[in-house]
Structure formats: C-alpha cells, structure tokens
Structure 1
C-alpha cells in the first residue's frame, strides 16, 4: 500500500495555479476525472429517467451508478441512498418528516459540538411539534464529546439523537458506536452528520450504528450536492411531503424534483478516484478487489498520509508564539483551529492569502462549538488537510504564519 502524493496532485488542475489549500473542510479542489465525468454526461443525450431513449437510459444509468458508488463509500444499501441539493437541505427535509412521528413531551438531543446544520433543523422541527430539545455538552478543554455526555441527557422520551461524525471546527471524532448503543437502548433514532467525517474516515454506517448518515461529496473531491444513507426499511416507514404525481418508491420518494444527473456522474468519478488513492489516483484495470475493498485500502493510506502532515503542522505550530491550538481531542481529523493571542485571525487569513495560502478564519457555522470554546461567533483560523496536501504546503503555511506574527499588530 502506497500514497504517491505527487501522482495524486497531478490530477488536480486547480493546483497548477500554485496555491496551498487548507480550506478542505469547506470544500475540496476537484480532480480532472470528476470534471470530465460531468462534461461527458452533459455532452451526451440526456433526459428524465426511463428505458425508451438513449437520453432516458443515460440518466437512469447515472442515477443507479451513483447510488452504488455512495453505497460502496459508506457501507450502505444502494436502495437507501437519497440525493439532495445539500446535507443541510436533506437534514431539514428529514427533520420535518420525522417530526410528524413525534408527540408533545417527546425529546430530541443535539450537541454543542455540531455544525448548525445538525442543530437548527432539529430545534426548529421540535418547536413546531411541541417537543423538548435536550443539549449535550462537550469539554472545551479537551474538545471531547463522550457517550457519557450524550447519556446524561437521554430519557425514555428521547426520539432522536443528532451527533456529528467529526467536528468541522476542531476535528473531534466522537465515539459513534458507543453513542448509538445508548440511543438505541432508549428506542431513539441516531442521525449522524458525516459531512466532515466522510472526508477522512472509512465509513461503515452499520458498524457506526447510524440510522441516518448524511454527507456532502464536495468535501471529498466531488460536486456540490448532499447524500443521505439509511436502511430502505426505515425509509419505507416515513412519509415525506412530496408532489402528488411523484413516485412513492424508496428512495426516490425523498428526492424532490429532477436529480442533477451531471453531478451524480461526478459523484461516481469522485468515489472511483478515492478508491485509487493508494495507487496515486483513479482506479485502474490492475486494481485488485472490489471498489469497497479498494476504498478501505485507500482510506488507510490517506489517514496515514494526513496524520503525518498533521503532526508536522502541530510540531511547527508549537514553536510559534502566541498560537493556541484548539483541536485537542484524542481522536480527531487533520483539521486544526488556531487562535492568536492579541492578533486577529482575519488579519492572519488575509496575510496568508497574499502568500497564496488559503486558510480561512471564522466559526464555519459551528456557532455553538465556537461559543463553548469561548471564541464567540468569531472562531479562529482553520487549517484543514485534503488528499492533495503535501509537506511543502504545510511548510508554506507555517512560514506564512511565522511571517505574520513577526509583523507588528495594527
């Protein structure tokens, strides 16, 4: 098993501009194979799904192929893969749908670690249904969210527990199987926001215990849309609002309007690219094992590569005063949140941008987490890794920060 970073980088046209990209948690750059797949679908006959014409067959083949690709990526059933405009939109849709099954006095659990897209839809749906919201806290000193933190707010009336798979702000990866066991013991459903998690972890929704797992392909080299995975039988028991003529078949009953076929083609290409990361890029005829097996190999190689870069970043940051690293959990993604005592991280962001290094500043929609860390709505400087980052990128980031800190504050 290898990770040839130069071979991986060669597939990304955006890198030819010379920038060092640390905005992966907000969205990754795109490999040529994904771009070409999108263009190919749009260059051939295309229509609504069916079997009579070439355009209908192309659309149908693209949709079914994308469901299989995402099922392979997530260890899910293709018949339970739902596509939507974004993870936020899908979560709102499912919050409204699940709220129909709640009654006053029921409870839902959200956490202060989560992105607001896995908080506000549930809070608002609960308000409309007369349901109580229980908040699970995390330890701001360590960044840890434990099963015990969730267990402390569960009751016999808990109907749903919503937890991040990985914090997009500080990288914390909670113990999802442990949380799932506690939720299921109470008869509650477990909804996992995997938007940041799926970009850095080999996912198996069954082993995680997730009843619903939502993610966004543009966080892992694909196009902008959302994906939700659930057991088909669970979806069969839910009745979403939809148009009268639209199908009642699962999973299509949850997909409102015509799907973006060109983006689904990009999803297939992105998953195929990820499956070949251990060999420098997209899958090749010489690859052994099926796509799921190749994805396992590739994510093992990717995690080793990203962990090495994360250690390099952390060791370099340790020598830079007055930098405070807020990403401290024992199990975390290669995503670092920094604050600079006496300095504005927005100024640092702009300084780095002038050097061709993209590491944005903010709370990144993780408002509750930022506030719990004592950072208000301002947050900090976030540097997140992606499959194409290399040691030169890391060194440019460290040198740029050192240069910024040497300059007098305004």
Structure 2
C-alpha cells in the first residue's frame, strides 16, 4: 500500500509550525508518542534501579525495555545493547578500551568519508598506543568509498577497521559487508557508524558484518540517547575503565553512571513509532520495524529523487557526491552565496538546512571545501514531502537571482 504521508506527519506536533525540516541528518523532530512516553515517565514515581520497590523496578524495566527495543531495531540481542549519551561518547569508550590492548606496530584503518566520531577516537587511541593509522580514501568525483582498497590497507597487524554505513555529508552507502569480510579475514574487528544509515532502512547487525554498530536515537525520532550493539560475548571479553562498585555485568559495565530513565522510555516509544510506519505490517516488533523502515525508505527515495534531480538541473548549484547507493542526503553550494549565508537565507523562508562540515571533517578537508565554509546539507526523512522539495527549489531560484543582482 502507498506510504501514508498524511498519517505519518500527523504524528509529529512540531510540523504544525510550518517549517520544512531538511535537517534530519542532524536530528529529527519528535513524534507525540515519544514525547508522551518521556513525560509520563517523569510524572510517575520513579527510583534508581532496585528490585526492592515498585519505583525501583520501574527503572529496571525501562532499561530492559530500551535494550529490547534497540535490539529489535538492529537485529541484535538485548544483552548486547550498550546505552549511552551519544554515539561519540560510546565510540570513545570502545576506542579507549580496545586501545589499551594495542601495541606499537599494530594498525587501525579509518576512512576519510566518516563523521569524525568514527575517526578521531580511533586516531587518538592509536596515537596513545603507538599504533599506526591507515586511511581509506573516497573517490572525489563520486564520493564512493571503494571496498577494494581495503585489501591493501588491512594486514596481519590490523586490529580494527572503522567505517560508516552511510555518509552524513553526501549520503554514500559503502559496501560495509565486503569491507568487513576483508577485515575479518585478517582477524581485525569492525566498528560501523550506523548513525546516518539506521534511520533510512532496515538494519541487521549480522548481515552488516559489524562487530560493533552504533546508532543515535535522535536521528530516528527518539530522544538524545545512543546505543552501541555487539555480540554479548564480544563485550564480555573487554574490560573498560569503571568505578569499583558499579556493575561488572555485560552490558552494564560499559555504562557509566545512572541513565536517564525518561529518555529510555522515549527510545522504546521511538522504535514502536518506526514499527508502526507500515500499518499493514504484521508479526513481532522486529518484523514490523523492518517493514516500516522499508516502506519509509521507498517513500524517502522518491522524495529525494525529486530533490536531487532539481538540484543537479540548476546551473548555479554545485552538488557534491554521486554515489550509486546513498542515503537521502546531499551537500551542495549555490553560486554567489557562502554556505552559512545560504542556510540563513533559506532559514528566513522557513526552510531548515545545515551548513558547515557537519563533523565530516576529513571529507571537507580532502575536498578543499572546509576553509570556505563547507557546504549546505539537505536530508530527507519520512515526514518530508515533494511539496516541501518544490518549496526549497523555488527559494533557491529566488536566492540565486538575488545573489546575481548583488554581484553586479
């Protein structure tokens, strides 16, 4: 059945304000069900985790519920779900933990296509251990990250390969499974940044090839929390720095301090929202999540095609990246405008886009764009419409003409 965009948009109260949100890559709007779950949890009696009282047991249930929901989203198991404040924080925890086992001569492989959160923690951990950093390069013309180069980058001393499942700058979807096969053949671990890919289609930990996969809930309609998933046995082999009295169980040993229980309720509600995107879907929540995200993906691709076609058809617009497989995200520049000035001009018309490097530091450095302000990013999410795309394109035309007049 066709994707019910009216029903979907009705779930998001913020959309009533009339802004067109093309900044989902930086954070999505929040459905009413998630807002209510967070608020209801804060209204109820709640204690720290303890089996001794009902409020304490509620806290335990909220943690278990969030782990189970994330497992259903990613094809993981609840005991393999580590929860934390952000993907950056979780990746730093993993990098420091693994880095403690590295020695001079060991190697890690990172990519210039990645968000810096899947680059800098590994570079810094390697530097601390005296390990060597090797770089996977993207094709400047297409933005592709060729998987074949990893055969030359990965060797007997490679300890970890870090790679994105979807570029947050230009949308490229690398062949992560092929990269992981090369890494695993050499005995290396693979950490996959799924922050930008997970919101835009079904995800399965096993088939991805990832040993560790990280995602941020606020990129898929949830609150500002993140999760990293792995096989529980993989977590059990690692010993992070922790407080002496804190739990040594897996996955608790990787979670410092007391979590935000209301936000964990929001995580569960967000996964339930995704599971309801296809009202015809049946089965358990994992099956319904996959169906919902598949339906949303097909819809997003149709909206994004209109956006990409419109941008590439305009001579004044320069589009970056042309990967065959991509998330619905594009970076571009408009002649006569700085990226920051263009984003502000669009923002004045109620069109919300990001400008800068969006922490895709290595990509913009390699492209020679960072010193000039980066680019402007438009990202399509499952509440965007073709009418909003047309509105954006029309405003770009207006600003292009204005820029030409200003330059005369």
TM-score by length of 2: 0.97
Unaligned runs of 5+ in 1: 280-285
Deviations, residues 163-211 of structure 1 (Å, cap 9, x unaligned): 0110000000000110010000010000001110111121101000100
Runs of 4+ that moved beyond 3 A: none
Deviation, structure 1 residue 151:
2.3
- Once residues 137 and 395 of structure 1 are traced to their aligned partners in structure 2, the CA distance between those partners, rounded to angstroms, is 35
Structure-2 residue corresponding to 1:282: none
Matched, 1:331 2:325: yes
Structure-2 residue corresponding to 1:202: 202
Structure-2 residue corresponding to 1:283: none
- Once residues 409 and 359 of structure 1 are traced to their aligned partners in structure 2, the CA distance between those partners, rounded to angstroms, is 23
Structure-1 residue corresponding to 2:53: 53
- Once residues 145 and 184 of structure 1 are traced to their aligned partners in structure 2, the CA distance between those partners, rounded to angstroms, is 18
- Once residues 327 and 100 of structure 2 are traced to their aligned partners in structure 1, the CA distance between those partners, rounded to angstroms, is 35
Deviation, structure 1 residue 149:
2.3
RMSD: 1.1
- Once residues 49 and 99 of structure 2 are traced to their aligned partners in structure 1, the CA distance between those partners, rounded to angstroms, is 31
Deviation, structure 1 residue 226:
1.4
Structure-1 residue corresponding to 2:382: 387
- Once residues 155 and 195 of structure 1 are traced to their aligned partners in structure 2, the CA distance between those partners, rounded to angstroms, is 27
Unaligned runs of 5+ in 2: none
Matched, 1:160 2:154: no
In the alignment, is the contact (CA less than 8 A) between 2:201 and 2:290 conserved in 1? no
Structure-2 residue corresponding to 1:308: 302
Deviations, residues 287-340 of structure 1 (Å, cap 9, x unaligned): 621111111111111111011011111222233221111131000000011122
Report the 3-state secondary structure (helix = DSSP H, G, I; strand = E; otherwise coil) of the residue aligned with 1:247.
coil
Structure-1 residue corresponding to 2:361: 367
Q: Which moved more, 1:175-184 or 1:341-350?
A: 341-350
Deviation, structure 1 residue 57:
1.1
- Once residues 137 and 318 of structure 1 are traced to their aligned partners in structure 2, the CA distance between those partners, rounded to angstroms, is 25
- Once residues 150 and 201 of structure 2 are traced to their aligned partners in structure 1, the CA distance between those partners, rounded to angstroms, is 22
Deviation, structure 1 residue 83:
0.6
Report the 3-state secondary structure (helix = DSSP H, G, I; strand = E; otherwise coil) of the residue aligned with 1:307.
helix
Deviation, structure 1 residue 360:
1.8
Matched, 1:400 2:398: no
In the alignment, is the contact (CA less than 8 A) between 2:281 and 2:291 conserved in 1? no
Deviations, residues 53-83 of structure 1 (Å, cap 9, x unaligned): 1111110111101101000000001100001
In the alignment, is the contact (CA less than 8 A) between 1:343 and 1:409 conserved in 2? no
- Once residues 198 and 108 of structure 1 are traced to their aligned partners in structure 2, the CA distance between those partners, rounded to angstroms, is 24
Report the 3-state secondary structure (helix = DSSP H, G, I; strand = E; otherwise coil) of the residue aligned with 2:61.
helix
Deviation, structure 1 residue 45:
1.2
- Once residues 398 and 287 of structure 1 are traced to their aligned partners in structure 2, the CA distance between those partners, rounded to angstroms, is 34
Deviations, residues 90-145 of structure 1 (Å, cap 9, x unaligned): 01111000011111110000000001111110111111111000111010101100
Report the 3-state secondary structure (helix = DSSP H, G, I; strand = E; otherwise coil) of the residue aligned with 1:199.
helix
Q: Which moved more, 1:125-134 or 1:45-54?
A: 45-54
Give aligned pairs, total. 404
Equivalent residues in 2 for 1:56-67, closer than 5 Å: 56-67=56-67
Report the 3-state secondary structure (helix = DSSP H, G, I; strand = E; otherwise coil) of the residue aligned with 2:388.
helix
In the alignment, is the contact (CA less than 8 A) between 1:327 and 1:335 conserved in 2? no
Structure-1 residue corresponding to 2:186: 186
Deviation, structure 1 residue 373:
2.2
Structure-2 residue corresponding to 1:278: 278
- Once residues 30 and 167 of structure 2 are traced to their aligned partners in structure 1, the CA distance between those partners, rounded to angstroms, is 23
Equivalent residues in 2 for 1:116-131, closer than 5 Å: 116-131=116-131
Deviation, structure 1 residue 85:
1.0
Deviations, residues 329-369 of structure 1 (Å, cap 9, x unaligned): 00000001112234312221111111100112111010101
Deviation, structure 1 residue 391:
1.3
